[in-house]
Copies of this chain bind each other. A is one copy, B any other.
Amino acid sequence: MENNENMEKKSTIELKELDEETLFMVSQTFKALSDPTRIRILFLLSQKECSVNEIAEDLSLRQSTVSHQLRFLKNLRLVKFRRAGTSIYYSPEDQHVLSLLNQSIDHALHD
């Protein structure tokens, strides 16, 4: 009974609907960022557009691992790609998720 009127500043969550669909979308978004490999891929792509092989080499991952994770990120529309010759170059598509990642890294670094 002492915690019922804290919806002003400090970004407390306002009363909103949390229907099943929203809940699923939100959890999926965070799931995308819950794996170190995916974070490293997104982090790398936020710095430079990369082909699949470049990602694999830069992060010391198998090509198939990168490809599988890119499919995951692609399905969630978090990355886009373009073909260039025989390679396919990936880059981030969702600025919002990149922002969430950025904030979280900042917060972790500043302890």
Interface residues of A (CB under 8 A from B): 2-4, 10-18, 22-27, 29-31, 33-36, 39-40, 43, 46-49, 91, 95-96, 98-109
Contacts and interface: CB of A to CB of B under 8 A. Distances in A.
Number of copies: 2
Given A10-B95, A33-B30, A22 B105 contact: yes
A108 B22 contact: yes
Contact of A107 (B4, B33, B34, B96): B96
A48 to B, nearest CB: 6
Contacts of A104: 26, 29-30, 100
A31 B102 CA distance: 16
A101 to B, nearest CB: 7
